[in-house]
Amino acid sequence: MLQAAPLNKTVPITAFNRGKAGQIFSEVKQSGMAVVIKNNTPECVLLSPAQYDALLEELSDMHLLKLAEERLRHLYPQETVPFEEVCKKAGISYDVLDDMDEAEFE
C-alpha cells in the first residue's frame, strides 16, 4: 500500500531554467516524488516511475475492491451454485483438482 508522502520535498520551477532538470529527476527517482513550486504555490507533482506504477496499481486495486463489494451487496445466496455441484456437473473429482498445478495470481 502506498504511504502518504508529505509535500515537503519541493523544487522551485526556476531550478529547471537553471539547467538542474537532470539533478531534480535523479532526486525524484530516489525519493519518489517532488512538488514543483511556482510563485510560492504548488504547480505540479513529479513522481518516479515506480511511485507512479504503485499509485496506478493501488487505484486499480481500489476499483476492483469497490466492484467486488458492489457485487456482494447484490448477491443472493439462494441463486448461487455450491462448488461441489459445479464439480459434479462438470465431471471433475477432487482428486483431479488436487493433482493440478497451483495457479499463480498477481
Query: Tens digits of per-residue pLDDT, 42-79?
Result: 999 999 999 999 999 999 999 999 999 999 999 988 88
The mean predicted confidence, pLDDT, of the chain is 89
Q: Is residue 3 part of a domain?
A: no
What is the domain count for the chain? 1
Q: pTM for the whole thing?
A: 0.62
Between strands 10-12 and 33-38, the pairing is: parallel
Contact, 24 vs 12, CB < 8 A? no
Domain hosting 78: range is 10-98
Q: How far is CA 39 from CA 14, 19, 24, 55, in A?
A: 10, 19, 18, 28
Position 33 pLDDT exceeds 80 = yes
| C-alpha closest to that of 20 among 40, 43, 41, 46 | 46
Sheet with 10-12: list strands edge to edge.
Answer: 10-12, 33-38, 41-47
Position 6 pLDDT exceeds 80 = no
Q: What is the pLDDT of residue 4?
A: 54
pLDDT band at 95 (very low <50, low <70, confident <90, very high): confident
pLDDT band at 8 (very low <50, low <70, confident <90, very high): confident
Position 5 pLDDT exceeds 80 = no
Q: Is residue 105 part of a domain?
A: no
Contact, 17 vs 24, CB < 8 A? no
Instruction: Copy the grid coordinates of residue 30.
Output: 530516489
Q: What is the pLDDT of residue 59?
A: 97
CA–CA separation, 9 and 33 (whole Å): 7
Q: Is residue 106 part of a domain?
A: no
Position 105 pLDDT exceeds 90 = no
